[in-house]
Amino acid sequence: MRDVSIIGIGQTPVAEHWGKSLKDLAAEAIQEAIKDAQVERVDALYVGNMCSGTLNGQEHLGALISDWVGLRGVEAVKIEAACGSGAAALRLGYVAVAGELADFVVVAGVEKMTDRPGQQVTAALAMAADADFEAQNGLSFVALNALLMRRYMHEYGVPHGDFAPFTINAHKNAIGNPYALFPHAVTAQDFCVARMVADPVNLLDSSPVCDGAAAVVLCPTSLARSLGARPVRIRASSSSTDTIALHDRRDLLGLEAAALSAAKAYRQAKVTPQDIDLFELHDAFTIVSVLSLEACGFAERGRGVRLGTEGDIAIGGQIPITTMGGLKARGHPVGATGIYQVIEVALQLREQAGANQVRDAHLGMAQNIGGSGATVVTTILEAVE
């Protein structure tokens, strides 16, 4: 198995891109990543995307985008694992390069969600849940996360206001990210009075519907040193699943797939949570941040919120999270999110995070989640000296 590195990154601003199509967005990110990598050959293109069929009337994104971006003929497919599609595509790109089946693989994530009315977007996102037992009975994606949050608050006696630091931190960090959708601060007061979406999840607990694309170029680390950008090595890549429906979980608040996926990644990288310098987690809702921190070993069960209230999640804190704004404030174009996360870790490890730079960042982790924890892909990245 070969060592694999990221040698090029590219991203579009996360926004409502009314003037650009799905393939325009993907092409923009891919071209930037290829330019950053300074590669002249691409062996395969893996595209992470969830909703192109339901929201854009277009499947077959592999062939579509490879041609549009000037890679006609190349092996190309779309990979889908709900909101975890981006990192699921990255994982397969990693497999191809690590296993010596390809040398240069471009992995892109793209989603264009703002062309349709909100109701259609809600219905499309609910396809990440169980159509027969959840969506069919009216459970939208926010509603499922509301059940999780309500249970957590009940179980551990946590007031809703304790989740505010996660949103405040994400928005603060987004100010330093030129690609973020919401580069502006919010206060604890804003959080407390935000409009309710699905009780107890309010608007400021929730990541937004938006458009965006992000791409990385992978190659063997042995070839990386002679190429463009400073390589960032993939120390671990792992993927696990859990039941898709919440009611089938053995342990509702345990995020078993996150724990399993993180444990595999720690084992592969031969590290512990204490070695991780920053963590781009999947803050689709504030409750998910908390559950992820607990499942990945950064806090004990029921104590994840404390990392927020005690300031540990800030840049400069013990375990900085959502350092460029996270899903909440950078934005969450679902199939693209997993690639945005990895790019943000890469920027930190390349010391290109500007005002948001985590000092002495050597090891970073990204975790992308599909559904309410049903697919979890964990990636541990390291700066190559």
- Binding-site ranges for a second copy (CB under 8 A): 1, 21, 50-51, 53-54, 56-64, 66-67, 72-82, 88, 91-92, 95-96, 98-102, 123-124, 127-132, 135, 238-244, 248, 256-257, 260, 370-371, 374-375
Nearest to 6 by CA among 231, 220, 251: 231
Choosing from 17, 171, 282, 332, the catalytic residue is: 332
For a second copy, give the closer residue by CB, 50 or 293: 50
What letter would DSSP give residue 196?
A: E
Q: Is 282 a catalytic residue?
A: no
Q: Which residue in the block uniquely carries the two structure tokens 């990192």? A: 87
Q: Is 219 a catalytic residue?
A: no
For a second copy, give the closer residue by CB, 61 or 383: 61
For a second copy, give the closer residue by CB, 21 or 31: 21
Measured from the Cβ of residue 195, the count of other Cβ atoms closer than 10 Å reads 7
C-beta of 205: minimal distance to a second copy in Å? 22
For a second copy, give the closer residue by CB, 304 or 335: 335
365: helix, strand or coil: strand
Choosing from 17, 51, 83, 296, the catalytic residue is: 83
CB 56 within 8 A of CB 333: no
- Write the CA distances from 86 to 111, 127, 202, 206, 374, integer angstroms: 10, 16, 26, 19, 15
CB 89 within 8 A of CB 185: no
The number of residues making up the chain comes to 385
Sign of CA dihedral 161, 261, 34, 74: negative
Tokens of 255: 């995020």
Q: Which residues are catalytic?
A: 83, 332
